[in-house]
Amino acid sequence: MTEQLQGLPGLALLCARAALGGLLSGGFAAWAYYDDLFRELSHTFGLWILLVVLVSARRPWRPAVLASTTGLAVAVAAFYIGKDLMYALEYPGMPYAVNLTVLAQWLVLAGIAGPLLGWVFSHVGRVDLPGTGATAAAVGLLVADAARRTTTHSADPAVLLLGAVAVAVVLVLGIRTRTQLLAGLVCAVPCAGVGTALVSAPDLLEQLLLQRSAPEQVVHGAAGGAGDLLVPVPVLQLRRRAPQP
């Protein structure tokens, strides 16, 4: 993951890795959406924050931006399409379709977050101030994401475990000295405050769009979760007669 890219073949390989990571993480989140033990993970951003760090850290910023955007876009598509396929397998014959408007909205958000986070996290692993700040930003986002889900819902062991493991991975990738570790942890505190606003913004935007998209309604997920889905009212009425996954 740390080798220098060599021209287009290296860039293509990096993007392929990012796409594979997006496919695996998005597919896992789609499966987790219907699993009692891991369901809460499908309502967090921790998997994708970690994905962007892994494909961006210690990279030149241009390849990092391209890889992170690719990974997030594939993850979004894999999650929404995979969730639809999982429901079709669980409850054959019941109407349940991906809302293309919602999918497009999340792809747009991936197109915004991917370049920004890819550029920031490309500095992870450096011993200078930008490197320390990038590591602190990643840690702050992960902590904010886990805290958001924990405070709005009950504390979930899977969410807390993912957050702890992801923070540990980021620190291993980004920290080189004890002084940098101390500085990074101190900087992570205000970063977590900013991160809370950032990880909450997509849900607020989705709720705003929901209020303007009547007669569609949110079903099949707690409000404020990254995995909520919009379906038309006629489908919703049929959906209510299906077993609740």
The model's pLDDT over 7-56, given as tens digits with 9 standing for 90+, comes to 777 889 999 999 999 999 999 999 999 888 899 898 889 999 999 999 99
| Rounded-to-5 percentages of helix, strand, coil across the chain | 70, 5, 25
CB 51 within 8 A of CB 75: yes
Position 84 scores a pLDDT of: 86
Which domain covers residue 147, as residue numbers?
13-239
What pTM, to 2 d.p., does this model score?
Answer: 0.79
Specify if 143 maps to a domain.
Answer: yes
- Contacting residues for 79 by C-beta, under 8 A, at least 6 apart: 26, 27, 29, 30, 42, 227
Structural domain total, the chain: 1
Round the average pLDDT of the chain to a whole number and report it.
Answer: 82
In a domain, 4, yes or no: no
* Residue 8 included in any domain: no
On the question of pLDDT at 1 being above 70, the answer is no
Task: Name, in order, each residue with C-beta under 8 angstroms of 142's C-beta and a sequence gap of 6 or more.
Answer: 46, 49, 50, 163, 166, 167, 170, 195
Say if 37 falls within a structural domain: yes
Q: Is residue 6 part of a domain?
A: no
Residue 70 lies in a domain: yes
Give percent of the chain above pLDDT 70: 80
For the stretch 88-97, pLDDT in tens is 777 776 666 7
Is 7 within the bounds of a domain?
Answer: no
Please tell me the distance from the alpha carbon of residue 80 to that of residue 142, in angstroms, as a whole number.
Answer: 22
Phi, psi of 216 (to 5 degrees): -85, 155
Can you give the pLDDT at residue 92? Answer: 76
Residue 182 belongs to some domain of the structure: yes
Closest CA to 55 of 23, 9, 14: 14
